Amino acid sequence: MAGTLYLVATPIGNLGDISARALETLRAVRFIACEDTRHSRVLLDHFGIGGKDLVSLPAFAEGQRAGRILDRLGEGEDCALITDAGSPAISDPGERLVAEALERGLTVVPVPGATALVAALSASGLPTGRFHFLGFLPRKGPERRAMLEEVASLSATLVLYESPRRLGETLQDLQEAWGDRRACVARELTKLHEEFVRAPLSELSARYATEEARGEVVVLVEGRTGERRWSEEELRRALEDGLARGEKLKPLSTELARRAGWSGQDVYRLGLSLKK
C-alpha cells in the first residue's frame, strides 16, 4: 500500500502557532522533506521530534529530487513536506511534488496552519471578500510589466510577497501601473516586531525609497474602484485623441488601461490596430 504525502504548515514566526495535528503528523511519518534541513532541524528539535530521516527539497532542485521522494511514497512510506515557514507549495517548494504525486495516484493530505498572505489580509484594513494572490513578481522586464497590467482592472484586493531589499522599487512600480491606491505593507508577521503600515501607494513608495524594511514582507493593494469599465468605443476614441496629439502608444496604453479598467496588453493591441 502506498504512503501518504502530508503538506504540513509550520509557523511563520511565532512557534506557538503550530497545530497539535501538525506535531502529531511530523512525529508519525517515516521521513520529512524539507526546504532547508538545517532550518527544519531547529524547529523539530524545539518540539522534541528527533530521529527523523530529513530529505532536502529546495525550490531550485525540486524537479530533480521529487522523483526519489515519490518512489519512497510508492513503496509505502509516509512523508511530511515542510518549508521554512508557512504552507508548502504556496510560493514555496511543493507545487511540482504535489502535481507529480497526484499523477502517480498517490494520496496528498493538507495539514493547514499559518500562511502570511491570509494573516496580512485579515488585518490590512482592505476588502477581504475577494483577493488575488500574485506570489513574488518577476524581478524585471516585460514579464513583470505584463503581470501588473494583467491584474490592473481587478476589483479584488491584490496581495504579493516581496524581498525587503526590493520593496521600494516594487511600490513605485505598483503606483505607476495601478495608480495611487490604498495599500498596506505588513512585515515580520507574528514576530516581536510585527508591523502594519497602511497608506496610499505614493506615501509607501516615498517612505521605503529611503527606509529599508526588515524581515519578510507582504504587500496588499486595494483593487480597482470607482468608475465603470470603459466600452471599446470610448477606449478607441481616447486612443485616437492621444495618438493625434503625438503621444507614444506604449505609455498612452498604460495610462488608459489604468483609467479604463482594461488590461494594458488589450489597449496596446487596440492602439496598434488604429495605427495600421
pLDDT < 70: residue spans in the chain: 226-228, 276
Range 117-221: architecture per CATH: 2-Layer Sandwich (3.30)
Task: Note the pLDDT of residue 176.
Answer: 86
pLDDT in tens, 129-156: 999 999 999 988 889 988 998 898 889 9
Task: Note the pLDDT of residue 228.
Answer: 66
Task: Note the pLDDT of residue 141.
Answer: 84
pLDDT in tens, 144-189: 988 998 898 889 999 999 999 999 999 999 998 888 899 999 999 9
Task: Note the pLDDT of residue 134.
Answer: 97
HEC-encoded secondary structure of 210-241: HCCCCCCEEEEECCCCCCCCCCHHHHHHHHHH
Task: Note the pLDDT of residue 226.
Answer: 66
Task: Note the pLDDT of residue 21.
Answer: 98
Top-level class of domain 4-114: alpha beta
Task: Note the pLDDT of residue 257.
Answer: 81
